[in-house]
């Protein structure tokens, strides 16, 4: 009732693992890696520009954003 359309698609009723294309998944992983560099202060000027561009391009629902952050934290362990 209070979720997004993405949340509905990810239920067992539809059986979809992700609402994103393979290309979008790659770009989201890249965004996560860039975000990590930006937050640590190690991103180059070009990486910071790429981060800003991808961040504007890839709008996430709250649940998708939680998954992205969790995946990034898991990859850093």
pLDDT in tens, 10-39: 677 777 777 677 888 899 899 999 999 999
- DSSP, res 56: H
Indicate if the pLDDT at residue 8 is higher than 90.
no
Could you give the C-alpha distances from 44 to 29, 32, 37, 49, 69, in angstroms and in order? 18, 15, 9, 9, 21
Q: Is the pTM of this model over 0.85?
A: no
Specify the higher pLDDT residue, 45 or 64.
45
CA 73 remoteness from chain centre: 12
Indicate if the pLDDT at residue 46 is higher than 70.
yes
């Amino acid at each position: 009732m209070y979720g997004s359309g993405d949340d509905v698609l990810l239920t067992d009723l539809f059986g979809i693992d992700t609402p994103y294309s393979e290309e979008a998944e790659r770009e989201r992983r890249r965004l996560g890696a860039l975000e990590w560099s930006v937050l640590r202060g190690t991103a180059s000027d070009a990486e910071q520009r790429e981060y800003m561009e991808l961040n504007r391009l890839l709008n996430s629902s709250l649940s998708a954003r939680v998954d992205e952050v969790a995946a990034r934290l898991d990859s850093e362990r």
